[in-house]
Amino acid sequence: MSAWTRDEMMTIAAARLLADGMVCFVGIGLPGAACNLARLTHAPGLVLIYESGTIGTRPSVLPLSIGDGELAETATCVVPLPEIFSDYLQAGRIDVGFLGAAQIDRFGNLNSTVIGDYAKPRTRLPGAGGATEIAAHAREVFIVMKATPRSFVPRLDFQTSGGHFPGRAVSGATGSGPAVVVTDVGMLRPQGPRNELALAATYPGIPAQEAVAAVGWPLAIASTVESIAPPAAAELEALRALEARTAAAHREPVRLPL
Amino acid sequence: MSAWTRDEMMTIAAARLLADGMVCFVGIGLPGAACNLARLTHAPGLVLIYESGTIGTRPSVLPLSIGDGELAETATCVVPLPEIFSDYLQAGRIDVGFLGAAQIDRFGNLNSTVIGDYAKPRTRLPGAGGATEIAAHAREVFIVMKATPRSFVPRLDFQTSGGHFPGRAVSGATGSGPAVVVTDVGMLRPQGPRNELALAATYPGIPAQEAVAAVGWPLAIASTVESIAPPAAAELEALRALEARTAAAHREPVRLPL
Amino acid sequence: MPKFLALRDAIRDHVADGACVALEGFTHLIPFAAGNEIIRQGRQQLHLVRMTPDLIYDQMIGAGCARRLTFSWGGNPGVGSAHRIRDAVEQGWPRPLELDEHTHAGMAAAYRAGAARLPFGMLRGYIGTDLPQHNARIGSVRCPYTGEEIAAVPALNPDVAILHAQRADRRGNVAITGITGAAREAALAAAKLVVTVEEVVEELPPAMNGIVLPHFVVTAIAHCPGGAWPSYAQGHYARDNGFYRRWDAIARDRAQFTAWIDRHVRGTADHHAFLASLRLAA
Amino acid sequence: MPKFLALRDAIRDHVADGACVALEGFTHLIPFAAGNEIIRQGRQQLHLVRMTPDLIYDQMIGAGCARRLTFSWGGNPGVGSAHRIRDAVEQGWPRPLELDEHTHAGMAAAYRAGAARLPFGMLRGYIGTDLPQHNARIGSVRCPYTGEEIAAVPALNPDVAILHAQRADRRGNVAITGITGAAREAALAAAKLVVTVEEVVEELPPAMNGIVLPHFVVTAIAHCPGGAWPSYAQGHYARDNGFYRRWDAIARDRAQFTAWIDRHVRGTADHHAFLASLRLAA
C-alpha cells in the first residue's frame, strides 16, 4: 500500500466520524466518498439518504450526481423529494447532514450562492439546494472542505446556510449546527461561548501551522488537539478500490439511446 | 326481465347522468352501484375514485367498504388518502362527487353527523368523512337518497355538508354544488335565485304527488318536469347481474387467517 | 433500529394509560390484534386518534379504554352504526367520550403537518359545515400573499402510532402494499411507531417507489399473522365482510358485546388464541 | 383525455412565448428532448421554473429562451458550473435573467401548495440564510395555535409542466419508475401537463402503489424514445455521465456553445435527428 494523500486522509477522517446505524443526509463529492467508505468498512448499517429521495441506498460505485440510477436500484425505497425535506429532514430524523461550500467563516456559516454582490455577482455559484435546511435541521452537521485562504474566509460574500450564527438558538433551527469541519490539513471544531471553529485535530505529518496558514482568519487552536491516526491499510484499500470502481464505471461509454 | 323496482329505477336514473370519461368521487351504497352500473353499460371510460386512494378502479363486484381489496387490485393506481383530498378533490379535478346523507334540506344541505343536539345527540351518526369537502369542491354534486319525510326535512339538525347555502358563492367552495338529487320517487334539481330543489323529473308510473308526499317540506315543481324512460332491459340486466355477483362474492365465507 | 417484540410486550412498553394513540389503516391493514391487546391489558383514559373509528375503536371504546376521540367518520363501513361509539357518545357508557371531530380532509392535513413537524395543517376545508361551531380546534390562517382565509387544524402528533403491515425485514424496514389511507403520515407524525406484521423476511422485495417505512422510523415490530383480521392484508387474506355484518348484532347490545369481548379478547392469551376461540365459536 | 401528438406539435400548441414553464425531473427523466424542441421553435421570454436548472436550462437560457428563473440549485451536478446560466446572471448574455431563488425545501413546499391549489406553502425553512433579503417572495405566516412564525412561499402554478416518463398506455395514463424528485407535484401544480415517453403500451403493468399520473391530469403525450438523454430513464438507458463532463467545455465558451446548439439542436428536425447528429459528431 503506497503512502496516503491528504485527500485520502481527509475522506478517511470524515468516514471515521460516522457510527454504525447513523442516518446521514449525503451530498455529492467528498461527503459521498466519506459516507460510502464508512458504509463499506466499519459502519455497514449506515443509512444514506440523498436529497433525490433515495433512502438507505448502497451504491457499489460513487455516483456522479445525487440521482444516478444505482442509487434508486439499491435503495430501501425511493420517496418523493418533498417528503425527504418535510418528513425526514424537517421532522428531525437525520442524525448527520454533510455539507461542503465555496466559502466558510469562523462560525461554520457557509456560502454556496455568489462571490461578490448578489445582484451583480463576480461569480454566480449553484445556490442553496438542500443546504440551508440541512444546516438548520440535521441533528449535527459535518462539513468537508479543502482548506485554502480563499475558501476559509473572515467574511462570507453571502450566507447561504447557517452555522453557529448569532441567534441560532432562537431561530427555529432544530439541529445543533456544525460539529466538525474536516479539511485536508486537520479538523476544526466549534469551541467557547460563540462556537468559533478551532483546530481540534491534526493528521500525521501535517503540523498545526499548515492548518493555520490554510485558513483565512486567525485560527484558534483548541486546548487539546487530537492526533489522528494515519489511514489503516484496510481503509486505504477500501477507499482506493471504491475510487477505482467508480472511475471504471464512469469511463464506460454510454450508448446514445438511438 | 321482471318489472323494475323503485330502487332499481333510482340507481339506473343516477347512472344515466354520468357521461363517459367523467371523473367521479364515489361513495358506498347507492352511489357506488350507480357509478359502477354506468361504467359497465354506457360509460366504460368513467373514472371512479374512492376516498381510500384508489384511482380508476374497475371492480367486478360492488365493494362493501370503500377500501375493499378489489378496488386496489383493479385500480390504475393507489395513492395516499391525503393526496386524494388535496391534489384531486381540492385541486378541482373531480367532475362529479356523489353523496348521500341521513337528512337533506330544500337547498341540498346535508346532515350525516347527529340527530338532536350535537353535544347530547339523540342519534349519533358517523360524521362528515369526505362529504364536506366533496360538497365544496367537486365541480358538481349528485345526491342519491331514498325520499322520506324523515330524511327530506325542513330544517337539518346539523349541517355537515353545504349545498346551496346562503353565501356559497363567497365561501371558498370551488364547485357549483348539488346539480341533482336522485330519489326513488323522482329527481329534484335546484331552481330559481335561491337554488331551491324542485321536482324536475318523474319515473314511469310514479306521479308527482308521491314525490311531494315523500318530502318533508312543500316541494316545488319545476316549470318543466321531465319524464324518465323506464329501465331498458340491458340496464336492468347489467344491474341485476352486478348485484348477483356482489351478493355471491360477499356470501363466500372468508377463512380466519389462522 | 426497532426492537422485535411479542405483541404483548410491544403494547406493554409503548402504550401507557392516558396516552394519545393512533391505530391507523384505512379499511385495509387495520391493526385489530394490537387493539385487542390494548383491551386485554386494560388500558384506560386513552386519547384515540383515527380517521375512521370503525370496529376496532368500537371495541376499544366499548371496552372502556378511551376518554377522547379525534376522528372524521365513525361507523361500520357499508353496514351502519358503530353501536359502542354511539352508546359512549349518546349515553356515556361505559364512560363519557370527548369528541374532537373533523372531516377526512382536515384529519389528513393534520397528520401531514404532524409528519412534517409543522405546528398546523391547512386546507380549503370546513366550508358550509357546522363543525367549526362545535370544535374550537378548527381555526384559520390568512395567506400572506393573497389575503385569503384558509382553514387550519392543529398538527396531530400522537404519542404512539400503531400499524399493521404485510412484512418487515430483519433490520426492521416495513413494507406496505395496497391501500394505505393516511397510515404513512400517521406513522411519521407519531413519537413512537409500533407495527404488527404478517411476516418477517430476510430481505424485502425490491421496493423502488413502493411504500416502505425505513427501520429508523420504527420503534417496535411484532410478528402477528392475521393481525388485521377482520380487515385484510392485500396478498395475504381478504376482508371478512361477513364479520363486519355480524358485528352489527354483537355490538348493538351492551351485554352481548361485553360477553363477546370477555370471551374472545379478555379470555384469550394472545391473537392466535383469539382467532382460535372465534373459529371454535363459529 | 390527453392528445397523442408529435413533440413538435405538443410544444407548438402548449408552450407560448412568455409562458411560465416547468420542465421537471430530478437528475432522472429530465425532458431534454422537449427543451431542445423549445429552442428549435425559438420560444422567447419564458419564465422557467425548475428545482435544479442544470444542463437543460443551461441550454435553453444560453439559447435565449428565458427572461426569468425560479430555482433552488443551478449547476452541472458533480461537475461544476452551469456556464450559460452564469453568463446570463453575471453578464446578461444573451439577455438578462431575473432570479427568483429558493431552497430545495422551499421549492418543494411551493410545488406541493400548487398541486393542492393552496395559495402558499409553508416550511421551517430559510433559517440562517441571506436569501429572504434578496427575494421578497419569501415570507412568513403565524401559526394560529402556537404563535410561531413559519416561513412561507407563494404556490407555484406553472402554465405548463413538461415531464419525461418511461411509459404511457393508450388511454394516456403515464407511469414513472425511479427517482421523481418533485416531478409529480410540479405536474399536478401546472395548468397543463405535457409528457414525453419512452414507449406507449397497450396496458400499463399493474401499478398498485407505483407512480401513475392518471390520464385526466395529462394534456398531451409525445412518444419520444431517448427523450431524457443525457439524463436517464430507469430501465431504459443510463445517465451519460461522460456527456455531463464534456458539456463543461462546450458551455464554457459562447461561440462554442452557439455552434453546438446551431448544429445539433437548431440544425436538426427532431430528437431522433438530434441524437443521430451527436452520434455522427462522436
Instruction: Catalogue all structural domains in chain C, each as residue range(s) with its CATH number.
Output: 3-102+157-281 (3.40.1080.10)
A43-67: per-residue pLDDT in tens?
999 999 999 999 999 999 998 888 8
The pLDDT score that the predictor gives to residue B31 is 83
Question: Are B173 and C128 within 8 A, CB to CB?
Answer: yes
The nearest CA of chain B is from the CA of D44 a distance in Å of 30
Which chain D residues have a beta carbon less than 8 Å from that of A109? Answer: 128
Question: Are A91 and C188 within 8 A, CB to CB?
Answer: yes
What are φ and ψ of residue D167, in 5° steps? -155, 155
- Could you say which of D26, D85, D129 has the minimum Cβ distance to residue A67? D26
Touching pair B, A by Cβ (3+ pairs < 8 Å): no
Cβ atoms B119, B158 nearer than 8 A: no
Give the integer Cα–Cα distance in Å for D125 and B247.
54
Which chain A residues have a beta carbon less than 8 Å from that of D242? Answer: 250, 253-254
Which chain A residues have a beta carbon less than 8 Å from that of C117? Answer: 90-92, 174
What are the respective helix, strand and coil percentages of chain C, to the nearest 5?
35, 25, 40
Q: B103 CB near a chain C CB, below 8 Å?
A: no
Give the integer Cα–Cα distance in Å for A199 and C47.
51
Give the integer Cα–Cα distance in Å for B232 and B41.
11
The pLDDT score that the predictor gives to residue C267 is 98
Fill in the DSSP letter of residue C215: G
* Architecture, CATH, for domain B6-251: 3-Layer(aba) Sandwich (3.40)
Q: Domain boundaries in chain B? A: 6-251
List, as ranges, residues 29-58 from B with C-beta within 8 Å of C. Answer: 29, 51-54
pLDDT band per the 50, 70, 90 thresholds, residue A2: low
Cβ atoms A40, A18 nearer than 8 A: no
Task: Give all strands (DSSP E) within B152-195, no chain letters.
Answer: 178-183, 186-191
Q: Which of D274, D239, D231 is nearest to D25 (CA)?
A: D231
Q: D132 CB near a chain A CB, below 8 Å?
A: no
Residues 6+ apart with CB under 8 A from C147: none
The pLDDT score that the predictor gives to residue A67 is 85
The pLDDT score that the predictor gives to residue B258 is 87
Catalytic residue among B51, B133, B196, B235: B51
Give the nearest chain C residue to D235 (CA atoms): C208
List, as ranges, residues 239-258 from C with C-beta within 8 Å of B. Answer: 239-244
Q: Flag residues of chain D having pLDDT under 70.
A: none
Residue pairs spanning B and D at CB distance below 8 A? 50
Cβ atoms C197, C29 nearer than 8 A: no
10-residue mean pLDDT series, chain C (282 residues): 96 98 97 98 98 98 98 95 98 98 98 98 98 98 98 98 98 97 98 98 92 98 98 95 96 98 98 96 84
Give the integer Cα–Cα distance in Å for A196 and A192.
7
Cβ atoms B157, B112 nearer than 8 A: no
Q: What is the dihedral of CA B184, B185, B189, B193, to 10 degrees?
A: -130
Order of strands across the sheet with B77-78? B77-78, B54-55, B47-50, B23-26, B96-99, B140-144, B178-183, B186-191, B196-202, B220-227
Cβ atoms B33, B242 nearer than 8 A: yes
Cβ atoms D136, A133 nearer than 8 A: no
Give the integer Cα–Cα distance in Å for C12 and C37.
9
Question: Are C103 and B129 within 8 A, CB to CB?
Answer: yes
Which chain B residues have a beta carbon less than 8 Å from that of D207? Answer: 75-78
Question: Are B67 and C278 within 8 A, CB to CB?
Answer: no
Touching pair D, B by Cβ (3+ pairs < 8 Å): yes
List, as ranges, residues 77-116 from D with C-beta within 8 Å of A. Answer: 77-79, 81-82, 85-86, 89-90, 101-105, 108-109, 111-112
Peptide bond into C94 cis (omega under 30): yes
Which chains does chain B touch, 3 or more C-beta pairs < 8 A? C, D
Q: Which of B87, B40, C136, A146 is nearest to D214 (CA)?
A: B87
The pLDDT score that the predictor gives to residue A52 is 94
Per-residue pLDDT of chain B (258 residues; tens, 9 = 90+): 569 999 999 999 999 999 999 999 997 667 889 999 999 999 999 999 999 999 999 999 998 888 889 999 999 999 999 999 999 999 999 999 999 999 999 999 999 999 999 999 999 999 999 999 999 999 999 999 999 999 999 999 999 999 999 999 999 999 999 999 999 999 999 999 999 999 999 999 999 999 999 999 999 999 999 999 999 999 999 999 999 999 998 888 888 898
Q: Which residues are B165's β-sheet partners?
A: none
Angle, alpha carbons A18-A24-A28 (nearest 5°): 100
Cβ atoms C184, C211 nearer than 8 A: yes
Question: Are C207 and A92 within 8 A, CB to CB?
Answer: no
The pLDDT score that the predictor gives to residue B2 is 63
Task: Please report which helix (H) or strand (E) contains residue C40, including its range.
Answer: helix C32-40
Determine how many CB atoms are found less than 10 A away from the CB of residue C269. Answer: 9
Q: D210 CB near a chain B CB, below 8 Å?
A: yes
The nearest CA of chain D is from the CA of A123 a distance in Å of 7
pTM above 0.90, yes or no: yes
Q: Which of D246, D267, D273, D253 is nearest to D33 (CA)?
A: D273
B128-140: per-residue pLDDT in tens?
999 999 999 999 9
- Could you say which of B28, B113, B256 has the minimum Cβ distance to residue C275? B256
List, as ranges, residues 139-168 from D with C-beta within 8 Å of A. Answer: 148-149
Peptide bond into C77 cis (omega under 30): no
Indicate the pairing of strand A114-116 with strand A77-78: unpaired
